[in-house]
Structure formats: structure tokens, C-alpha cells
Amino acid sequence: MTDLNEFECEMLDALLEAFGVPDSLTRDQVMILFDGDEAAAFAMIQILLREGLIKVTGEHGPYDIPQKVILKPKGEKLLKSGGFLALYHKEQQKPVEVGGTLAKLQQQNMRLQNLKLSNESRIRDLEKTISQSQLKLYISWAAAVVALIIGFLLGKFM
């Protein structure tokens, strides 16, 4: 159910509501309901089959709409309880549980905050080490330049 969006839920509910007194729809009725869009009709029928709300009869290919679609009692029960749209809205209102209970999430949050602080401290230490190393490098380059100048001057005056 989580892979459906609101529009798809509305389409599925409309399809379920289209079942009449004999609790069945013919292929032509389904095509009329979907304005001739066989791909959309096929997709919606496959969802209803996956959920176990309908059964199909008649000859059809693997990607064709069956000759007859029959509503199962489970489908009627879902429709009476508000249909896919009600399930969708109920699911949207649930808080998202990523790792379990609230206590577990709080523990994980504290652990991650501590890890973040230790990483930030480590980064500051490494930046300090880098700046000290750069300073030593600059001093050694300056000493080398001074030594070259002194050597040049001593060579010229001697």
C-alpha cells in the first residue's frame, strides 16, 4: 500500500465502486471506466489482484485486461471501510518510525550527536596540525631562501 499515491488510490476506489449488483465488470466496462487507457486499467487491475480484492476470468494474455473481473468479499469490505483513499490518509498521518521505539530513536540520536561532536573535535585538531605543518614548511622555505642569498653574497665577495 505504501507504494501508491493519492491519485492511484482514488482510481482504485473508483474501480471498486464501479462493481455493480452482480459484483463483476466486463472488459468493456473497465475500458469505459478508464477512457480506453488500457495501460492504466491493466495496472489498476494488477494492484487489486496483488491485494487479493478481485479475481479474473476469461481468456486474456499476460498483458491484457481479462474478459471479466469479479469483486471478492475482501474488496467489498475494503470499500465499505473507506477504500484505498482512507488507508492512504491513515498511513500519511502515522508518524514515521525509522528504527523502532521512541526510546531507541532518542538513544540513536544521542549517540549520533556524540559522534558528531567527537568528529568536529578531531577535525579541529587535524586543522591545527595542518596549520602548524604549513608554518614549519614556510619557515624552512624562508630559511632555504636566506641560505641561498647568504651563499650568493659570500660567493660574490670572496
Q: What's the pLDDT at 62?
A: 66
pLDDT of residue 140: 97
CATH fold of 6-93 reads Arc Repressor Mutant, subunit A (1.10.10)
Neighbours of 50 (CB within 10 A): 9
| Per-position pLDDT tens, the chain of length 158 | 557 888 888 888 888 888 876 788 888 888 888 888 888 888 888 888 888 898 888 777 666 788 888 888 888 888 888 888 888 888 877 765 555 678 788 888 888 999 899 999 999 999 999 999 999 999 999 999 999 999 999 988 87
pTM exceeds 0.75, yes or no: no
User: Residue 99's closest CA among 116, 91, 111, 117?
Assistant: 111
**Domain residue spans of the chain:** 6-93, 100-158
Q: What is the residue type of 42?
A: F
> Residue 9: how many CB atoms within 10 A of its CB?
20
Among 80, 69, 81, 24, which residue's Cα sits nearest to residue 44? 69
